[in-house]
Amino acid sequence: MSTVLLLLITGIGLGALYFLVASGLSLIYGLMGVLNFAHGSFLTLAGFLGWEVGRRIGDGTWAGLLTGMLVGLVVGAVVAALTELIFIRPLYNRHIEQVLVTVGLGLASVALFEGIWGTDPIQIRLPEWLGGTTDVLGANIPNDRWLLIATAVVVLVLIVLFLQRTSYGLVIRAGVENRTMVTALGIDVRRAFTIVFAIGGAAAGLGGVLASVYYGQVGAHQGTSLLIYAFIVTVIGGLGSLTGAAIASVLVAVIQQFANFYLGGTGDLAIVLALAAVLLVRPTGLMGKVKH
Amino acid sequence: MRTFFTSVWGKLVVGAVIVGVAAMLPLLAIDIPGILPGPTYTPGTLTVLAYAMLIAALALSYHLIFGVAGLLSFGHAMFFAAGAYGLGIILKLLAPSGMPAEAVFLVAIVLTLVIALVLGNLVGALALRVTGISFAMVTLAVAQAMNVMIRRNVGGLTGGEEGVRLPVDVVPDVLVGVVNTRNLYWLALAILVIVYLACVWIERSRLGHVVAAARENELRVTVLGLRPYFVRLFLFAGAAVLAAVAGIGFMLLQSSATPRISTSDFTLTLLVIVVLGGVGYRWGAIVGGIVYTLLDQRLAALASAEWIRGLPDVLRIPLSEPLFILGMLFVLVVMFAPGGIVGLSHRVTQRRGSKRDVAEPKALQDMEA
Amino acid sequence: MTAILTVRGLDARIAGQQVVEGASFEVAEHGVTALLGRNGVGKSSNIKALLGLYERSGEVTFAGERIDRLMTHRIVQRGIAYVPEDREVFGGLTVEENLRLAERGGAPNRGIVAELFPELIQRAKQQAGTLSGGQQQMVSLSRALMNDNRLLLVDEPTKGLAPLIVGTVTKALEAAAERTPMLLVEQNLQVVRALAHSVIVLSGGRVVHTGPAADFLDSDLVHRHLGVSTDEEAA
C-alpha cells in the first residue's frame, strides 16, 4: 500500500513537471498551430540562469532557490516572447516553416548551452528540507515533490484565471477555437501569439528550475528530454486543451512510474503504448477539440 | 525549351558523368583546402566522403516521406539504426554457426533488410492511422522508445551506451581495414546510386503519383477509389528499407553503431538536411546531405583552430559549436530561402529563359493538420 | 451610383488551388448588392479573398483606399463587418463573451442586440455552442451589427434556418441595410428579392452578369445562371 502511495505521489510530482512544459506547448499549438520544438530550450536556459543567479544569492538556501524560480520565470517569458517576435511572426500563417524554425532553434540552442556550460550535467545544492522525506500513511515521499505539485497547481490556477478573466484570455480562448474568425472580427491575433508564447515560456522557465530540483542537476539536454514527454502529454491530452494537458500530465507520469517499478523499467514503452492506444481510439486526444 | 540536358538521354549522361567522376576520386589526388581534410586518395578524406554519401542516401529516403508524401516523421533514424544495429547483431549471432563467412554476411544483410521491412510496416501501420502533427508525434514517441531500449541494452543485444561493434571476422576482407577504405567508398557510392534510382522509380510509379496527389488533396484521391493509407504505408516501408540500406553501409564504414544514430535529434538532422538542400527535390537531399556533412566536419575542425581559441568567449563559444552554426544556418534558410540550395540555384538559372514557376515546393504549403 | 468597394482582377488560392479567378465587380455605396451563382462557384471564396482570409492578388479598393495588401484585422478595422457562412460563433464561449469579443473601438451599440434579438439577452450566460442554429445566426449578426460599419459582408445568412427565423433575419438585415451598404450572398431568391437592389452573378469563377436585382430576377437569366426557374423560386 505504501509503495502504491509513494509511486502515485511521486508520479503526480513528475506529472507536475510535465504539466509546466506541456501547458505552454498545448496553448501555443491550440492557438497558432505550431508545435514548438524550441520549448525545451526555454526550459533549459531558464534552469541554467535560475541556478546561476540563485547560487550567487545563496547556494543551497531557500532565498537562492526562490530567486532562481523567479529568474527562471522571467527568463522563460522574455526568451519565448522574443522567439515569437523575431522568428515566428515573420512566417505568419506558414505553419510548417514555423515548426522548422523552432526545430533549428532547438538544435542550435542546445549546442550553445553545451558550449557555455559543458556537455555534462552540473550537480546543484538545494535547501536541506527538499532532500528529506515526509511520511504519508507509511510512504516516505521525497519533499521536492510537494514543491513541484504546489507550483504546478498555482500555475494552473493562474493560467485559468488569466484565460477566464482577462480580455486577452478571451481572445486566446476564442482563437484556440477558431483563429480565422478572431481576425475577421478585427482583432490582431498576433498579439495573442506573443502572449501565449510568453505564458508558455514562463511556465517552462519555472519548470526548468524545478527540473533541476527534481533531478538534482542542471544540464544542456534537460529541456530536450522533458520536451519529448511533454509532446506525448500534449497529444494524449488533446492539442490545445489546458485541462487535457493537466490530466494527461498526471496520467502519463503515474503510468510511467508504475510501469518502471512493477514492469521492470518499461515506463517509456508503456507511455508509447498509451499514446498509441489513445490515438487509435480518439485521434484528437482525450480533450481534443475540432481542428481548424 | 527542351535542350539536350533536360532530355532523358541528357540526364542519363550527366548522371553517368557525375557517378564516374565520383568513382574516380580515390584514384586522384585532388586537394581542396578548407573543404576536404586532405587529398582525395587519403583514407581520412575517403571516409568523410563515404560518410557524406551515406547520409545523402539516408536523406533521400527521408525525402520520400517528407518531400513526396508530405509526412513529417520524427522517427526515420530508427530505420537507419535498424540497418546498422541489425547487421552488427545478426553477424555476431551467426558468426559461431559454422557457416562460411560469405554466407553469414549475405544472410545477415538479407535478414537485416527483412527486419527493416517488418519494422517499417509495423510503425507505419500504427502511425499512418493519424495524420498531420499526430503522425509526427507517434513516430517521435516510437523512435524515443526504441532509443531508450537500445540505450538500456534490452535483451543484452544492443550493448547499451557502448553500442555494437562490427564482427570483422565474418565480413569480406575487401571491406575491412584502412587499406580498403576506397572499397568502402565505392560501396557508399553504390548505395547512394541504388537509393537514388529506387527513389526515381518509386516517384515515377503509379504509387508515387498517388502519394503525391494525396499530399495535395486527400479527398480527391479517396474519391478516385484509392486508399491513401495503403499507398502511404507502402512508401513508408520502402523508405524504411532504403534507410536500412544506408545503415548497413554506415556499419561497414564505421565498424560500430552507437545509440546516437537512433535519437530523434538524428532524425531532426535529416530534416535539416532535406530542408537545407531543398524540400521536394531529389537533388536537394543529396546536395544537402553532402554539404551538411562536410560543413559539420569542417566546423568541428574550425572549433579547434588556433585563431578561434584566442577569441573572447562571446565569439569563441558559438563558433566552436558546429551544431549551433548549422542550426542557425537552417533557421536562416527556412526564413529567407525556402527551396534551399537547389531552390536557390533554380531561381538563379531560371531568371533568364523560360519563366517557369519557381514557387516554393508544394510540400511546404499545406501540411497544417 | 458610386461604389464603396471596387474589385478588379481578384485571384485567390487555397492550398495551391485557384478558387477565385479574375473577379471584377463593384458594391454600391447604398443598399444591398447580392452576389449570386450556383453552388461551388466561388461566392464565399470571393468574400474571403477580399477580406484577406485567403492568399490573394488583384486590386481591392474600399472607400478610395487599396486594401488588397492589408491583413484581415486591419481590413475589418476600416469598418467592414463579416457575417460568415455557417455562422462561426465561438461555441465554447458564452453569448456575452462572443459579443464582447466582437466589440470594435468607438461605442458599440449593444442596444441594437436587445432591439433585434431580445432572446439573446436572456441567454447571455449560455454557451454559444448549445444554441440553436437560428440563435447562433443572431449572435453572428449581432457581432457585426453592433459596431459602426461602413460595409457589411453577409454570407448565406438564412442557410439551414427555419422559415420563421428566416423572416427575423431578413428583417434585421433590411434594417441594417438602411444605414450600411451590404454585399449579400444568398441562395434564397425570395430573400434576395426582398433586400437586394442590384445583383452580381458568378459562373465558372467569373462575373457573368451585373445589373438591377428586379430585372435579373424576372428574366430567364435566373434559369440560365442559377439553374432555377422563376416558378421554382416561389416554391
Residues C169-213 pLDDT 10s = 999 999 999 989 999 999 889 999 999 999 999 887 678 888 898
Number of domains in chain C: 1
**Which residues form the domain of C21?**
3-227
Residues C217-235 have pLDDT tens digits of: 888 888 888 876 544 444 3
The H or E element that residue C128 is part of is none
Closest CA relative to residue A8, chosen from A286, A238, A262 = A262
Q: Which residue has the cell 450572398?
A: C185
Question: pLDDT-derived band of residue B360, with 50, 70 and 90 as boundaries?
Answer: very low
Percent of chain A exceeding pLDDT 70 equals 99
How many angstroms separate the CA atoms of B102 and B176, rounded?
13
How many angstroms separate the CA atoms of A140 and A135, rounded?
5
Q: Residue ranges per domain, chain A?
A: 2-222
Say how many CB pairs under 8 Å bridge A and B.
Answer: 124
Q: Are strands C3-14 and C17-28 parallel, antiparallel or unpaired?
A: antiparallel
CA A142 to each of CA A11, A215, C88, C159: distance values in angstroms, whole numbers, following the listed order: 11, 12, 50, 61
The amino acid occupying position B135 is F
Distance, CA of B148 to chain centre = 22
How many angstroms separate the CA atoms of C162 and C141, rounded?
16
Q: What is the mean predicted confidence (pLDDT) over C107-117?
A: 85
Question: What end-to-end distance do the CA atoms of chain B give, in Å?
Answer: 38
Strand locations in B113-179 (E): 164-165
Residue C234 placed within a domain: no
Query: In chain A, which among 132-171 make CB contacts under 8 A with chain C?
Result: 167, 170-171
What ipTM score was computed for the predicted complex, to two decimals?
0.90
pLDDT of residue B367: 38
Q: Which residue has the higher pLDDT, B324 or B316?
A: B324
Residues A55-108 have pLDDT tens digits of: 999 888 899 999 999 999 999 999 999 999 999 999 987 888 898 999 999 999
Residues B246-299 have pLDDT tens digits of: 999 999 999 899 999 998 889 999 999 999 998 888 989 999 999 999 988 888
Close Cβ partners of A194 (under 8 Å, ≥ 6 residues apart): A81, A84, A85, A89
Are A114 and B321 within 8 A, CB to CB?
A: yes
DSSP C169-182: HHHHHHHHHHHS-E
How many angstroms separate the CA atoms of B249 and B166, rounded?
12
Residue C77 placed within a domain: yes
pTM for this entry: 0.86
Are C93 and A174 within 8 A, CB to CB?
A: yes
Closest CA relative to residue C176, chosen from C147, C209, C215, C205 = C147
Q: Which residue has the cell 508558455?
A: A200
Q: Which residue has the cell 434556418?
A: C161
Close Cβ partners of B103 (under 8 Å, ≥ 6 residues apart): none
Are C93 and A187 within 8 A, CB to CB?
A: no
Q: Are strands A133-136 and A139-142 parallel, antiparallel or unpaired?
A: antiparallel
Distance, CA of A141 to chain centre = 23
Cβ–Cβ < 8 Å for B89, B107: no
Cβ–Cβ < 8 Å for B316, B309: yes
Residue C233 placed within a domain: no
Half-sphere exposure of B99 (CA within 13 A, CB side): 16
| Cβ atoms within 10 Å, residue B27 | 9
How many angstroms separate the CA atoms of C85 and A55, rounded?
59
Are C97 and A171 within 8 A, CB to CB?
A: no
Q: Which domains does chain B have, with CATH numbers?
A: 43-364 (1.10.3470)
Query: In chain C, which among 3-22 make CB contacts under 8 A with chain B?
Result: 15-17
pLDDT of residue B351: 58
On the 0-12 / 13-18 / 19+ scale of CB atoms within 10 A, B28 is exposed
Q: Give the bridge partners for C110, in sequence order.
A: none
Closest CA relative to residue A200, chosen from A93, A73, A86 = A73
Q: Which residue of C has its CA nearest to B368?
A: C15
Say how many CB pairs under 8 Å bridge A and C.
Answer: 55
Local structure of residue C83 (DSSP, 8 states): E
The H or E element that residue A21 is part of is helix A2-32
On the 0-12 / 13-18 / 19+ scale of CB atoms within 10 A, B131 is buried
Residue C120 placed within a domain: yes
For residue B217, list chain C residues with Cβ-Cβ distance below 8 A.
15, 17
Residues A208-246 have pLDDT tens digits of: 999 999 999 999 999 988 998 999 999 899 888 899 999
The amino acid occupying position C131 is L
**Which domain CATH number covers C29?**
3.40.50.300
Distance, CA of A32 to chain centre = 17
Q: Give the bridge partners for C224, in sequence order.
A: none
Partner chains of C (3+ C-beta pairs under 8 Å): A, B
Does the beta carbon of B132 lie under 8 angstroms from any beta carbon of chain C? no
